[in-house]
Structure 1
Amino acid sequence: MELIDVYYAYPGSVWALKGVNLRLEKGKKVAILGPNGAGKSTLLFHFIGLLKPKKGAVYYEGSKVEYTKAFLKTWRQKVGLVFQDPDAQMFAGSVFQEVSFGPMNLGLQEDEVRNRVLKALETMGIDELKYRPAHFLSYGQKKKVAIASVLAMNPDALVFDEPTAYLDPRSSAELVEMMEKLYRLGKQIVISTHDVDLAFSFADWIVVMKDGKVLAQGNPLEIFTDDELIGESGLEKPFMVKIGDLLKKRGLLKGSFPRDFKQLASMLESDGGD
């Protein structure tokens, strides 16, 4: 995915994107990071053609995006968006109907639709919910169904808008594990978030946004050890970076910063990370 000098403004509002230049490489877990109002969701909507730039252009796999029905239909089979609020995405009566909606619109045979639905539900670990009414599900279950409905389209990439928003800690951890699983299955994963701890522990590549612009991009350590950038972006350092700074000052940690608590414990147990 590549955006070249992309501008976008909602009707009657100021510019939400202001000359965004961005290239996302295959094979990396990407986090679009920034405070509320930075333009993260607007950017994601350009990734699947829900919004068309007022200026600039979007490219996918080297081809300039055309905003025709045929092009968008093909594109949205390759890139799937999971909305922040699953209630904004779900509308069918039962889980099976919800997950089957996309494949049915592709004109697939009934057996193929059923196979895709069952595989998506199995991948998400929610086989037992397939005949449940969607409106009776918990918020976390709805999130999983929303992801399954995107998986049933068999996309190459999944884009998550604030994936852990409104989830309790356990449900958040389960969702992050699921995104890791999808990545291991060969799916490209892109998330937008204002959660610096999630971005630091999960992503291979981070894009920092503020006021509709890309301030910086790089690997997690490059981003979160840049004090000037952290101050300019209005973000905070992740907890693990704060802990790493403290341990390094006291000579208790050598080498790279831990990405999560498990890595921290391993480093300390191996005598300061040697």
Structure 2
Amino acid sequence: MADEADEDDGQRIPEQIARREELRAKIQEAKAAIEQQAREKEQRRQDREDHDRDDEDPPKPSTKRKNPNDAKPEDRNQINLIDPDSHLMRKSRRDGWQQAYNAQAVVDADGSQLILASYVADSSADNWELEPALETVSPEVGAPTTVLADAGYVRKKLIMRFDSDPEAPELYLAITGDDHDLRRYDYRPPKKKTKVVKDPVLIAMREKVRSNEGRKIYQKRKQSVEPVFGIIKSVLGFDQFLRRGFNAVNAEWNLVCTAYNLKRMWRIATADPVPTGCAGG
């Protein structure tokens, strides 16, 4: 009888109620985290607008800036309590959604295929990552003279900034997906829908990439950066992050890129020299 009294003294919270309170606490935690993300997102949006705004294009006097602290999350926003720093992303429209980070890498396109800089971003969009990626390249490596990037990095203000800065590297930026695979002969059936480009800045960049010289230069992209990610996934066997949290995942990605570079440098150092000529007898 004493044992039964100890097991149920009338003062303990039933298991169902305890579980309910635990779930309620997690919901409140998720709610607070989503609201904080909405405030941070609005602040980043305003910072990017300020970064892209020219002196000749000031904000309209009647435009009232929203206070980031008043930003509200959308109904579709959600968060992962195991790794709140990650976000729902998908590689393309053909891929499914998954909790992920956006791994970035700057790769040498002049033959070595070494990774010059690497980091992870918490947004699936690449169009704000080109400048941070170039800034991540160490001065000891040297500033890039030419930059090749796919259509995911397209942004009009970015192109204008590169064109107006004499110290900026030469930019070759694909404007649409049609510019990625510039074949001399293409017998595939034409796409039903193609993106119409009307902006003069974007049209000029497209013509630059599609010119004879631009094709030769831009072709280096698919034989440099694309194989690097393929080797990391297929040869090194790294197809998902094992750590949690932005700083931890960033450190993990840098470690993986370092491992790739060591493997690549060993391959370069031990490769047989290419013969410069031959003789026949």
Structure number with bigger Rg: 2
TM-score (norm 1): 0.25
Structure with greater strand percent: 1
Higher relative CO (Cα under 8 Å, sequence separation at least 6) belongs to: 1
